[in-house]
Amino acid sequence: MWLAILLCGCQNIPEGASVLDVGTGCGIQAIVASQRAERVLGVDVNPDAVLLAGENAGLNGVLNVEFLVSDLFENVCGIFDVVLFNTPYLLEDACGVESTAWAGGAEREVVSRFLDDAKNHLEEDGFMVLVTSDACGSECLEKMFSGGGYEFELAGSEKVFFEDLLCYRLWVRKSKKKVEPP
């Protein structure tokens, strides 16, 4: 819940933007984004989550959101101004339940796959907003961001119980062209 609240507060969606909500879950991020966005696509690997997100959008009278089943970008076509991702930030599922909703793999495979493909779905001047926890090793994630060709900034944080929740804004690093003298 705290991660979702932090991510909602850091969305900063430009008016009229196109938004992709990866790992939409119950659809809260997509529904909040729809207030400023022209169109929103929410995707989740779990078909039950996609159904619930659609029901929640309907209950809230949201018409500019579509939901579909997709493992990250697998079934996503197009590019977006903003991509939201509530990351599965745990290295292992501490609850003993195997679920990519919380656990992103021993080597952060889910986040790594996300970063590898996100550039292909982001407008040139677009940005991503990711939420995670310092409990998973934020320094390692920041190295993944840099190594993946992204610039980033800390957009927000919240101290909750035994961890700090962190919200990052990322954008694709612009290549610096070397100007040759005449």
Say what the pLDDT of residue 88 is.
77
Say what the pLDDT of residue 108 is.
67
Give the start-to-end residue ranges of the domains of the chain: 2-7+16-172
Say what the pLDDT of residue 102 is.
41
Say what the pLDDT of residue 51 is.
98
Q: What is the DSSP string of 121-134?
A: GEEEEEEEEEEEEG
At 80, the amino acid letter reads: F
End-to-end Cα separation, the chain, in angstroms: 58
Q: Which of 62, 65, 69 shows the shortest CA–CA distance to 43?
A: 69
Q: How far apart are CA 26 and CA 161, in angstroms?
A: 24
Please list the pLDDT of the chain residue by residue as tens digits (182 residues). Answer: 677 788 889 999 999 999 999 999 999 999 999 999 999 999 999 999 999 999 999 999 999 999 999 999 999 999 999 999 988 755 554 444 444 444 433 436 888 899 999 999 999 999 999 988 877 667 888 999 999 999 999 999 999 887 888 999 999 998 654 445 44
**Per CATH, which fold does 2-7+16-172 belong to?**
Rossmann fold (3.40.50)
Say what the pLDDT of residue 69 is.
98
What residue has token string 């677009």? 126
Say what the pLDDT of residue 106 is.
44
Q: For the segment 83-95, what is each residue's pLDDT rounded down to a tens digit?
A: 999 887 555 544 4
Q: For the segment 10-25, what is each residue's pLDDT rounded down to a tens digit?
A: 999 999 999 999 999 9
